């Protein structure tokens, strides 16, 4: 079974899918449409805009690729069409997967794309008129593609640590509880450019704790842009999975705790190579040249593999499996950990 257990919907809109939706909905945005020649762009031209050209420690370059693709979030119908295509492409790439849905940022973007300042939208309207229809559209797209392909597809709600507005997050969380059955759990994610790149704002943690009554399986992105201390403080929330977590390798105590508590690290080799090249080099040098996934396996930490954001990272889950194999990762062990984590989720 080839199960992609760390993949984001916002990073899964291929140039081909975006152009198909742009044609269907006649989106003459300059990203998709060349006004001078009055033609839609080619997938190759669009790919150059949406895929990282080279590794960089500046995560905002990655984030810009994500932001550009959001130009197609012009209506709930367009988001549904994009979701159908993203699920189909993920199904072609795997035997099943878990997809993360950044519902707050999608709702905010939909409002902004309608030329409204999202902060002027009352929290209850934000949740009811934007976030709920998006959640229903994405989950119905999932149901449709799952039925058509017979491949299992899980959806996880991602909440960004950028935490732009507590009242809007609270209204969104209240609405999400009614759709808990459509979701497999919660995730904390987001690109933050501060002194602390992986903050966990106290009111966000409060919201997570309330949501966990209905959505107990928690994963958190940590130990990617920050060191092992970020993983340590994340473990205080008892997550079942940690996104990336490769900086755990800095601390034998952290590794021991991960192994003992059976927390799964979701490791994404191409994502690490592109987003944290300097840190990756340091971690590898400190572990005899071993790639983090291999070193984590040697430390008896359960690890699964993820493609993270296939479009900006120019990868696929199949490609990540090849990369892992070439880096000397124990693929049998990876498969066993994948099955173990899948059983926790299903
Ligand atoms: Zn991620």
What is residue 126's predicted lDDT score, i.e. its pLDDT?
98
Mind listing the pLDDT tens digit for each residue in 284-321? 999 999 999 999 999 999 999 999 999 999 999 999 99
Give distance in angstroms: CA of 39 to centre of ligand 1: 34
What's the rounded Cα separation, in Å, for the pair 127 and 135?
A: 10
Look at strands 264-267 and 303-305 and give their pairing.
parallel
Give distance in angstroms: CA of 308 to centre of ligand 1: 5
Give distance in angstroms: CA of 190 to centre of ligand 1: 8
What is residue 250's predicted lDDT score, i.e. its pLDDT?
98
Q: Coil, strand or helix: which one is 194? A: coil
Give distance in angstroms: CA of 175 to centre of ligand 1: 24
Fold of 3-345: TIM Barrel (3.20.20)
Q: Is the dihedral of CA 29, 64, 316, 157 positive or negative?
A: negative
What's the rounded Cα separation, in Å, for the pair 75 and 105?
A: 14
Strand order in the sheet with 264-267: 3-8, 96-101, 153-160, 185-189, 218-222, 241-244, 264-267, 303-305
Mind listing the pLDDT tens digit for each residue in 29-57? 999 999 999 999 999 999 999 999 999 99
Beta bridge partners of 244: 222
Give distance in angstroms: CA of 26 to centre of ligand 1: 31
């Amino acid at each position: 079974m080839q199960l992609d257990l760390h993949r984001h919907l916002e990073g899964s809109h291929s140039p081909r899918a975006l152009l198909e939706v742009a044609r269907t909905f006649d989106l003459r945005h300059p990203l998709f449409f060349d006004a001078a020649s009055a033609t839609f762009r080619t997938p190759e031209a669009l790919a150059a805009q949406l895929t990282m050209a080279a590794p960089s420690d500046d995560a905002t370059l990655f984030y810009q690729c994500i932001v550009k693709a959001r130009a197609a979030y012009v209506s709930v119908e367009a988001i549904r069409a994009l979701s159908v295509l993203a699920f189909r492409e993920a199904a072609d790439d795997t035997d099943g997967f878990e997809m993360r849905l950044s519902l707050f940022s999608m709702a905010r973007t939909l409002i902004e794309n309608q030329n409204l300042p999202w902060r002027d939208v009352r929290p209850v309207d934000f949740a009811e008129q934007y976030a709920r229809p998006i959640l229903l559209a994405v989950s119905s797209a999932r149901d449709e593609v799952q039925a058509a392909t017979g491949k299992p597809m899980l959806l996880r709600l991602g909440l960004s640590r950028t935490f732009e507005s507590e009242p809007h997050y609270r209204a969104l969380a209240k609405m999400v509880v009614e759709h808990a059955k459509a979701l497999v759990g919660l995730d904390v994610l987001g690109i933050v450019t501060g002194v602390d790149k992986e903050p966990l704002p106290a009111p966000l943690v409060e919201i997570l704790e309330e949501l966990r009554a209905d959505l107990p399986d928690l994963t958190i992105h940590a130990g990617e842009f920050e060191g092992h201390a970020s993983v340590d403080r994340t473990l205080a929330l008892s997550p079942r999975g940690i996104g990336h977590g490769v900086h755990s390798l800095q601390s034998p105590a952290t590794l021991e705790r991960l192994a003992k508590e059976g927390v799964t690290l979701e490791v994404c080799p191409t994502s690490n190579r592109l987003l944290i090249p300097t840190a990756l080099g340091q971690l590898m040098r400190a572990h005899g040249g071993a790639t983090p996934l291999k070193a984590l396996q040697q430390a008896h930490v359960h690890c699964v593999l993820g493609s993270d954001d296939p479009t900006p990272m120019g990868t696929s889950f199949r490609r990540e499996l090849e990369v892992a194999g070439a880096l000397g990762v124990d693929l049998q062990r990876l498969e066993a950990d994948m099955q173990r984590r899948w059983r926790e989720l299903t």
